[in-house]
Structure 1
Amino acid sequence: MTLWVFLRLWSLLWHLGLPVVLLYLVWRGRKDALYGRHLAERFGRYRQRLPGSVWVHAVSLGEMRSAVPLIRALLDRGETVVTTHFTPAGRREAERAFPAEIAAGRMAAVWVPFETSWAYAGFFRAFRPRAGLVMEIEIWPRMIFAARKSAVPLFMCNAQYPTKSMIRDARFTLRHKLMQNYAGAFVKSDLQARRFASVGVPNIAVTGELRFDQPVPAHLLGAAERVRPLLAEGRPVVTFASAVEGEDELYLDAIIAALGHPSRPFVVYVPRKPERFDDVARLVARRGLAAIRRSESLDATLAPKTPAFPLWEGGALSGSGPDLLLGDSLGEMYFYIALADRVVTGGGFTPYGAHNIIEPLALKRPVIVGPEIHTIEYPAVEAIAAGVCLRVETPEALSEALTGWPGPPPEAIESFFAAHAGATARTLAALDRALTRR
């Protein structure tokens, strides 16, 4: 199939499917009302006007968090920025991280338009960006070609090309043709540069991983220092960060086994999506685990609700207190990680792959991941080789690692982290060089 034919079929599919997409947004809006708000933006109708801005597309929460240090650097040097998102989690993170800049009109956080040429035309009329940065590897045909038509150089940013994606795309090379129409790619490692070059992507620069430059909220670390003795005095703590659907039973089996160990670790369990919080709470209760929820036991400042929650007695938990804290909140991952002695990053026991290991490493916590690391090949491969991350292949190995893996010394993690920082400055320099060449 030629690219021309594909684009016509893609457009037809989107126009015919728009009612289905709208129904999907209404359905998702039953759990998160933000899905149904600002719908005009998805059709390319925007109230804001930010001509000459730098456009950052961060589809959801993870991509937006990785973009935060880069956006901060762009704003600090006088740029205006527009971010586009598909999910409420991504949009909320942009609004949470940059409220003053949004209020001052220096930044806008909006929905990405639907995959139609006319919706993108409305977006480019409103913002007329001087460049676009697509976080990670998002391949949206109309986005790519609408940017080209509007003479907006569009770059993949913080990009990696996972092994599984390469294998799949080798059979159907259409994605290669689409990627070749980007203006360039700012990639995470030399390996990723070779991969993108092998499929014809132009103007590649190795800039590193932006998540190594993420700011760490000091107030969350302080709250963890105060709360940990109340939760788990004298006990090791294991945090399960970003546990995804399909892993819960496996993780709970490992947790129950670990609770039989003499050390009896306290567990912090953080589901990946807010819509899973109640379901996971019910599942934890069915497994007979003594648990409390962050939303019920801690107030907005992460201080204990001493009179409100019966398990708190005089500022400390009773002797028969719980073994698990369910992290049912958003934007507090560093708090949950700071409580821990070691962290299990979710996703690695599903085909979709493991999530970010950099946040734990930033706090000098050793990390455990499941077998599927294709989504985080960089820096997981390097972290495993350095001994700061442990890859476990089976649920049994995970159970053993929760109480049996000694982990590396903090200075080893600190050294690894320092060696991989600095991606923000390298990305800005690469962007400036690319725009100068045009």
Structure 2
Amino acid sequence: MRLWLFLRFWSLLWHIGLPVVLAYLWKRGRKDPLYARHIGERFGRYPAGLPGSVWIHAVSLGELRSAVPLIRGLLDRGETVVTTHFTPAGRREAERVFAEEIAAGRLMPVWVPVETSWAYKRFFKTFRPRLGLVMEIEIWPRMIFAARAAGVPLYMCNAQYPTDSMVRDARFGIRPALMRGFSGAFVKSELQARRFASVGVRNIAVTGELRFDQPIPAAQLAAAAAVRPTLGPRRVIAFASVTEPEEALFLAAARELLSRRTPPIIVFIPRAPERFGAVAQAMTEKGVLFARRSQRLDGRLAPLSQAPMDVLLGDSLGEMYFYLALADRVVVGGGFQPKGSHNIIEPLALRKPVLVGPHVQTIEYPAVEAIAAGVCQQTSADRLVQHVLTWPDPSPETIAAFMAAHSGATARTLAAIAPLLRP
């Protein structure tokens, strides 16, 4: 009865709030026009479909990137794929990475429908997916129960159940009931399997973390190798995926590092593209000698200038591996505010030592294991500069061994999916 009442309230809330959703998309569309395009898809109206596809819901950029190896594996096995997204960053990445497959009619990226039963009914009527995979732990009630009504098996994929979520759910208890609506879960670790099982989720398989299998773009590594000598002998510290609440902290840390007798070069990469201009303005006001990537380098990442600079502002999308490859060590943002840290696997894949903030519940796996292995250092705002300067570098061999021990999630996930795709 409690779940039934919640679903009725949830549906009422979404129907009443649809004008607010449209206003939100219009407002965001003023900064990023893609938000305001293909609006019909938000309501389940699609110009075409790919019936019989595997459906992968990757809400934004990080989720899509984690899904790339899995999607490649499905395509290699002859499957067609439809990906759903909420943000332009996720959709653009799908369009960029899978441009050939989209042109060949083997993959279609679209907007995820709004949380109403009728919008999802149209989605399932158009695409008739054989299987649905929700990346990470996106819990959308109407998505879950509309999939059940349509007879589509829906699984959590690359899933984890963070500690803070479990604490909240123990108080309110509605999310475990929703998670039991999934057909099952492909989870990151044995610990995560036990957590999902403890709230009644069935059909759990431990498949690992898909991000360990992400392809590394060779062109970006080659470009970084060419650019790095132009930066001189100074060490390079990357501040990656800096969120808006952390910008002041990281700017202060950058200025303190630059005041040292042998200052490093800082690569400063804001998390959200709409923050590029604001961060540039803040650096200008604080007298930081910086250059924007869009002005310092051309479209192929070749230098346009070799003028002196202390900070390279990463004002581009899809070039994270280039920025990380320039660095000697990397501080990953997100974890210095309560929402939690962003992905540490990309720098580790390049054998770069990583520092994170105190809030790592969003990347509990593999952050706990990486910290224990000595390839990641957890720090705090007041000790950030100290640890950047003094934490001993783990050897590349140590980082390589850690990566090897945790790879292979794509093959395990494909093996778990295979029985579900049989006719």
- The letter for the 2-side match of 1:254 is A
Residue 7 of structure 1 aligns to a residue in which SS? helix
Q: Structure 1: which 5+ residue stretches go unaligned?
A: 306-311
Equivalent in the alignment of 2:399: 413
Q: Tell me, yes or no, if structure 1 residue 389 matches structure 2 residue 376.
A: yes
The aligned residue for residue 298 of structure 2 is 299
Q: What TM-score comes out, normalization by structure 1 length?
A: 0.95
Q: What code does the residue aligned with 2:353 have?
A: P
Q: Give me the whole-angstrom Cα distance separating, in 1, the residues matched to 2:173 and 2:243.
A: 30
In 1: Cα distance, 2:335 partner to 2:142 partner: 32
Give distance in 2, aligned partners of 1:94 and 1:36.
Answer: 18
Confirm whether residue 51 of structure 1 aligns to residue 51 of structure 2. yes
1:308 aligned residue:
none
State percent identity of aligned pairs. 67
Deviation at 1:432, TM superposition (A): 2.0
Instruction: Please tell me the root mean square deviation across aligned C-alpha atoms, in Å.
Output: 1.1
Which of the numbers 280, 297, 309 marks the counterpart of 1:322? Answer: 309
Q: Which string of whole-angstrom CA distances, capped at 9 and with x for unpartnered residues, describes residues 51-91 of structure 1?
A: 11000000000000000000000001100000000000000
SS, match of residue 10 in structure 1: helix
Q: 1:428 maps to what in 2? A: 414
Shift of 1:406: 2.1
> Equivalent residues in 2 for 1:180-195 (5 A)?
180-195=180-195
Amino acid of the residue matched to residue 399 of structure 2?
Answer: I
Match of 1:78 in 2: 78
Task: State the one-letter code of the partner of 1:8.
Answer: R
Output the CA distance in 2 between the equivalents of 1:256 and 1:433: 55
Question: Which residue pairs with 2:171 in the alignment?
Answer: 171
Deviations 1:348-376 (A, max 9, x none): 11111000000000000000000000000
Check the 8 A contact 1:48/1:108 in 2, yes or no. no
Distance 1:262 1:419 in 2: 39
Whichever residue aligns with residue 247 of structure 2, its letter is D
SS at match of 1:21: helix
Report the counterpart of residue 37 of structure 1 in structure 2. 37
Q: In the superposition, relative to structure 1, how do residues 376 and 417 fare at CA in structure 2: closer, same or farther (>3 Å)?
A: same
Per-residue deviation, 1:251: 1.0
Partner of 1:244: 243
Amino acid at match of 1:409: S
Indicate the residue corresponding to 1:196 in structure 2: 196
Residue 274 of structure 2 corresponds to 275
Q: 1:131 aligns to what?
A: 131
* Secondary structure of the structure 2 residue equivalent to 1:355: coil
Deviation of the 1:192 alpha carbon: 0.4
Q: Could you say if the C-alpha distance between residues 203 and 434 of structure 1 is closer, same or farther in structure 2, counting changes exceeding 3 Å?
A: farther
Cα distance per residue 1:119-143 (max 9 Å; x no partner): 0011001110000000000000000
Counterpart mapping for 1:331-350 below 5 A: 331-350=318-337
C-alpha distance in structure 2 between counterparts of 1:379 and 1:302, whole Å: 31
**Corresponding residue for residue 364 of structure 2:** 377
Contact 2:131 2:420 in 1 (8 A): no
> What is the match of residue 87 of structure 2?
87
Give the match's secondary structure for 2:31: coil
- Return the alpha-carbon distance in structure 2 between the equivalents of residues 77 and 244 of structure 1: 38
Looking at structure 2, the residues matched to 18 and 219 of structure 1 have their Cα atoms a distance apart, in angstroms, of: 43
> For 1:263 and 1:213, how far apart are their aligned partners in 2?
37
Structure 1: 4+ residue segments shifted above 6 A: none
Contact preservation (8 Å) 1:203, 1:434 = no
Deviation at 1:259, TM superposition (A): 1.6
SS of the residue corresponding to residue 368 of structure 1 reads strand
Alignment of 1:201-216 (within 5 A): 201-216=201-216
Residue of structure 2 equivalent to 1:144: 144
Aligned 1:14-29 pairs, distance under 5 A: 14-29=14-29
Task: Count how many residue pairs are aligned between Structure 1 and Structure 2.
Answer: 423
CA distance in 2, matches of 1:83, 1:399: 41
Secondary structure of the structure 2 residue equivalent to 1:155 = strand
Q: Partner residue of 2:265?
A: 266
Structure 2 distance, partners of 1:15, 1:384, is: 45
Query: For 2:245, what is the secondary structure of its paired residue?
Result: coil
Counterpart of 2:343 in structure 1 is: 356
More displaced 10-residue stretch of structure 1: 275-284 or 250-259: 250-259
Q: CA deviation at 1:381?
A: 0.2
Shift of 1:333: 0.2
| Contact 1:261-1:403 at 8 Å conserved across structures | no
Aligned residue in 2 for 1:404: 390
Shift of 1:262: 3.0
Deviation at 1:434, TM superposition (A): 4.7
Amino acid across the alignment from 2:371: I
Give the partner amino acid of 1:389: C
Q: Which runs of 5+ in 2 are unaligned?
A: none
Deviations 1:402-425 (A, max 9, x none): 221121010000000011000001
2:212 aligns to what SS in structure 1? helix
For 1:309, the equivalent position in structure 2 comes to: none
